[in-house]
A = this chain, B = another copy of it.
Amino acid sequence: MNDLLKLSDANVKQWLSFLDATIIDYVNSLTSDTNVVNYTNAKELSDSSVFNISSAVGDKQIEKDILYFLEKSVRTGHANFHNQLYGGFNLWSFVGEVITALTSTSMATYEISPIATLLEKTLVNKMSHLVGFTDAHENGEGIMLTGGSNANMVAMLAARNTKFSDSKSKGAPSGLVAFCSKEAHYSFSKAANIIGLGTDNLISVASNANGQMIAAELEKEIKRSLEAGKIPFFLGATAGTTVKGAYDPFTELNDICKKYGLWFHVDGAWGGSVALSKTHRHLLEGAQLADSFTWDAHKLMHIPLIASFILFKKPGVLRESHDGGGNTYIFHDYENKSYDTGPQSLQCGRRVDSLKLWLSWRALGDEGYEKLMDQHFDFAKRLTNYINQNDRYKLFFEPTFLNICFQVLPQKQANQKEINDFNLKLRERLLKDGKFMVNFSWENDTPFFRLVIANPQSQYKDYIAFLDELLAIAHEWGS
């Protein structure tokens, strides 16, 4: 035999010592003056010799490779990273990820992941209760999956297979139409493609200026579809839209869904975590009436990517919708068979994502998570005031949640096109400077910054520093 993957004590210790030093340096860099990103153009970066794989390189080179990887990666844990719907660094969860990698097993059966299976079940139960699907001591129906997009797709698939019970075996019926708001996440469109609905059969419902779906418009669209001979079957509402952070009017939407027999899904990938706060969970009012609910713990529960859940109100939906048979080699009759999560999943091998969330929840408790949520809301409120009080910033939408959308106005009089170009130029400069990272979006032809308050490492002054930086660049440009 050869000894290529032999584990010597000395080798393990050498790597742990390298990792320790690297992790300490990295973590220290997250709250310091270190850049969020060292911007490099893709073509230039491609020239690096690290992209050669063919001959073995020694451990010293591997160490250099890792340091180079870190140098050329975005520090999403940095206090100045506000670019995505996540950010920051959670030490307990990180430790959980390390242990997950150490044990590297699959969630297909209880047999090969006994405790992780029960942890996932615990989390599904707890979150189902928080959403309002179950009482505290009831079992929830749900599973962890590969992201919010996948969760929304699974919801749409379950809706189709539940409402048209032979579509699993016979194929997708034709004539189905689904609905979501024009502010909904683009994963609904991908889901419509995947499950064979077709993107044209996903109807985009009008929203109000704050980004909430207009219930009356939904009813109009349903009626229009019915008149055209179509079969409305699914509504994807949103708790915390991606750009504006809007919560759709769930109670009203549910009434319409019930009236016309539509499956009612709520995409709370981003905004579901408000269920953790007594002060703010009212935003979800009515979502407990839904048939299914998406919740990404890797966003506002501050867990390393990916930690996504799909939750269902009705027990048994997942298995009915997913189980495809032909799997006798893996799912056996034995005393723990009912605990196997494989038949409820669209995956066979499935990574253990439960440990990292469980450890974080054990460490923070419900109270800790509530404090983190409330802190984000507090910052968002104060930042909104700050922006409103400075006439160099123009707030685009009154935030109900943690997305702050605004433009920077140049000092001199300018038309809208000039203002837009100025903001795009600011964003590009920001990215290339690398000190802060904040994304932008568009409303019609108008771009604006979308500042996301989702980073538990960021203090209020860090957000202010970002806003000040924009004006400093403008000042440097003389505008």
Contacts and interface: CB of A to CB of B under 8 A. Distances in A.
Contact of A359 (B62, B119, B431): B62
Interface string A1-27: 110111101011101101110111011
Nearest to A371: B2
Nearest to A94: B101
B325 A375 contact: no
A279 interface: no
27 contacts: A7-B27, A9-B28, A41-B336, A53-B123, A54-B365, A61-B362, A62-B359, A65-B358, A65-B359, A66-B95, A73-B115, A74-B103, A74-B111, A84-B349, A89-B104, A97-B97, A97-B100, A168-B198, A168-B199, A171-B172, A171-B196, A171-B197, A186-B348, A189-B324, A192-B324, A242-B329, A306-B350
B98 A101 contact: yes
Contacts of A366: 53-55
Contacts of A89: 5, 7, 104
Q: Chain A interface: which size bin?
A: 35 or more
Q: How many copies does the complex hold?
A: 2
A262 to B, nearest CB: 18
A55 B385 CA distance: 34
B348 A148 contact: yes
A472 interface: no
A12 B41 contact: no
A30 interface: yes
A51 interface: yes
Given A73-B114, A89-B104, 18 more contacts: A7-B457, A40-B114, A46-B118, A51-B122, A54-B366, A55-B365, A62-B363, A65-B362, A69-B115, A69-B116, A74-B112, A75-B103, A84-B112, A148-B349, A174-B174, A186-B324, A194-B346, A199-B325
A34 interface: no
A187 B348 contact: yes
A228 interface: no
A424 to B, nearest CB: 9
A479 interface: no
A388 interface: no
A77 interface: yes
* Max count, chain B CB within 10 A of own CB: residue among A16, A27, A92: A16
A339 B86 CA distance: 22
Contacts of A16: 19-20, 23-24
Interface in A244-280: none
Contacts of A69: 99, 103, 115-116, 119, 355
A51 B322 contact: no
